[in-house]
Structure 1
Amino acid sequence: MKTGAVSLSELSVRFNDPSATARFGLIALATDLTSERDLYRQLPPENVAIHVTRVAFQNPTTPENLRRMTPRLSEAASLLAPSGPLKAICYSCTAASIVIGDETVRAAVTAGAGDVPVVTPAGAALMAFSALGTRRIAVLTPYTVETSEPLATYFTARGLSIARFRCLGLEDDRDMARVSDQSIIDAALEANTSDADAIFLSCTGMPSVNVIAEIEERTGKPVVSSNQASAWAMARIGGFDQHRPVEFGRLFSCPLPAPSLGDAA
């Protein structure tokens, strides 16, 4: 019903330059309680936007349940396409990207969202180890032994050796998101060995970025976490070469190594 109270403004509308905002995509699990917060904390605070979509997932976190996300990835990624040109899209699940396969994840995401660099936490971690000159790693995961085993295979198949691998035995990623800072620190220190070059804290759900700096200080070694490696890779792909937040570890002082992450992540 027209009331006569509304009129069309005669002012012209001005628009901001679309390139003024660096836009990134994030595909998070439906149960993920950590990735969005961690990425916003670690990416540059100015002129950056993260556009998030979710993919259905049901606990427990087993290799079988993780693989079930595969046919859902393209549809989830397609919801990011209307956001406009994206610098990169991150599929934020370390264990799933390993059991599904980085290349399969990349193909599914680009099928839904178009030609855009795809970051997986596992692939980003490999790039991080290369950038840091790491050959031998100590690993901590919150997963069960069954879900952790493919990670050991993934890294050793790509030329890394494992000094020690510890897992916390959790089955639900919502519990992984509640692991305390002190528990992560204690477990990382227990996983560390004298001959490890670096420590890897796996799982995008585990809130590890809080404690990276402390673990690095106490061990004297670089620490790589799933969300930290993803954020670092996304920042570098996005052109933020000088973004170096020291509170999130030595990795942020490194450039991306060759080949480009778009080919290797």
Structure 2
Amino acid sequence: MKTIGYQLTPENAQIHLGMIVLQSDVTIEDEFRRYFADTDLSLLVSRIPFEDEVTEKTLGDMAHYITQSTALFPVAHTFDAVGYACTSGAMQIGSDRIRQLIMKERTCRYVSDPMRAALLAFESLGAKNIGYLAPYSTPVCKTMIEHIESQGFSVPHSASFDEEHDQVVGRISPNTIYQTAIELIVSADGDIDAIFIACTNMKCATVLDRITSETGVTALSSNKVLAWDLARSAGVPLDL
């Protein structure tokens, strides 16, 4: 057999992003492909164990697996940024602790999550009054709304599908999300600056622009704000 030579690509030839995604999530990878379709970057995904039922306990329990999930990325890979892709999990565990758990295993320049990214997006847009649409149970929604308001924002209008099972959440149709968001914005009667559609498993990338153009209210989602925050940290342009 003939032995032939080869060339290696430079290690810094691309932006390298990593994501830790829930075992039950069937949405975020498809939506990130959409958001980064015109961008030359590398996106690697690791999964984290998660029970189907979304409760404050199961969300908090994920803290035990974040470092382990980070360790499953390719050993020699260096990331520009890593995202922990769970909005309610980030709220329950805390963004600072998530960063510590990821950095314990893999040093990278930046760590984000959808909760942190949402707050940064609100601030970037100058949005103070936020409409809130989520799939979660009432206790999880209540805690998240309180967290958003504790950071200096107001959530005067909210709605939830009250669905605890993440496998079901991933099947809620984009049209249902679109119609519900429109109804919430109309009922707010000009009282909100933006609407936040929480949960990375909510399929809404295809309807965000329609919601914004038809109502004049900026529509944001967990996946959109996380993609935006990871991108900007790495110097990649991506509009909200």
Same fold (TM over 0.5): yes
Determine which of 223, 226, 230 is the counterpart of 2:222: 226
Counterpart for residue 13 of structure 2: 20
CA distance change for structure 1 residues 81 and 163 in 2, over 3 Å: closer, same or farther? same
**1:51 maps to amino acid:** L
Determine which of 168, 173, 195 is the counterpart of 1:180: 173
Is 1:211 matched with 2:204? no
How many angstroms apart in 1 are the aligned matches of 2:76 and 2:21? 16
> 4+ runs of 1 displaced by more than 3 Å?
none
How many angstroms apart in 1 are the aligned matches of 2:98 and 2:9? 34
What is the TM-score normalised by the length of structure 2?
0.94
**2:153 maps to amino acid:** L
Is 1:153 matched with 2:146? yes
Counterpart for residue 102 of structure 1: 95
Q: CA deviation at 1:223?
A: 1.1
Q: Secondary structure at the match of 2:12?
A: helix
How many angstroms apart in 1 are the aligned matches of 2:143 and 2:74? 31
How many angstroms apart in 1 are the aligned matches of 2:148 and 2:126? 15
Q: CA deviation at 1:191?
A: 2.1
How many angstroms apart in 2 are the aligned matches of 1:170 and 1:153? 19
Q: CA deviation at 1:116?
A: 3.3
- Is the contact made by 2:63 and 2:98 (CA closer than 8 Å) also made in structure 1? yes
- Is the contact made by 2:80 and 2:108 (CA closer than 8 Å) also made in structure 1? no
Q: CA deviation at 1:159?
A: 0.2
Structure 2 gap segments, 5+ residues each:
none
Is 1:76 matched with 2:69? yes
Q: CA deviation at 1:239?
A: 1.1
Q: Secondary structure at the match of 1:114?
A: coil
Q: CA deviation at 1:61?
A: 0.5
- Is the contact made by 1:110 and 1:116 (CA closer than 8 Å) also made in structure 2? no
Q: Deviations over 1:26-78 (max 9, x none)?
A: 10011110111111211253421111111100021011111111111011112
How many angstroms apart in 2 are the aligned matches of 1:86 and 1:203? 24
Number of residue pairs aligned between Structure 1 and Structure 2: 237
Q: Where do residues 4-15 of structure 1 align in structure 2 (5 Å cutoff)?
A: 7-9=1-3, 11-15=4-8
CA distance change for structure 1 residues 83 and 135 in 2, over 3 Å: closer, same or farther? farther
Counterpart for residue 50 of structure 2: 57
**2:100 maps to amino acid:** A
CA distance change for structure 1 residues 229 and 14 in 2, over 3 Å: closer, same or farther? same
**1:105 maps to amino acid:** I
- Is the contact made by 1:81 and 1:112 (CA closer than 8 Å) also made in structure 2? no
Q: CA deviation at 1:238?
A: 1.4
Counterpart for residue 43 of structure 1: 36
Is 1:67 matched with 2:60? yes
Identity level (%):
27
How many angstroms apart in 1 are the aligned matches of 2:131 and 2:150? 16
How many angstroms apart in 2 are the aligned matches of 1:94 and 1:167? 15
How many angstroms apart in 1 are the aligned matches of 2:63 and 2:34? 28
Structure 1 gap segments, 5+ residues each:
1-6, 245-250, 252-265
How many angstroms apart in 2 are the aligned matches of 1:20 and 1:46? 13
What is the TM-score normalised by the length of structure 1?
0.86
Q: Deviations over 1:67-115 (max 9, x none)?
A: 1111110111122252521111110000000011111111111112124
Q: Deviations over 1:8-33 (max 9, x none)?
A: 42x32111122112111010011110
Q: Secondary structure at the match of 1:112?
A: coil
How many angstroms apart in 2 are the aligned matches of 1:201 and 1:122? 11
Structure whose alpha-carbon radius of gyration is higher: 1
- Is the contact made by 1:125 and 1:230 (CA closer than 8 Å) also made in structure 2? yes
How many angstroms apart in 2 are the aligned matches of 1:83 and 1:217? 44
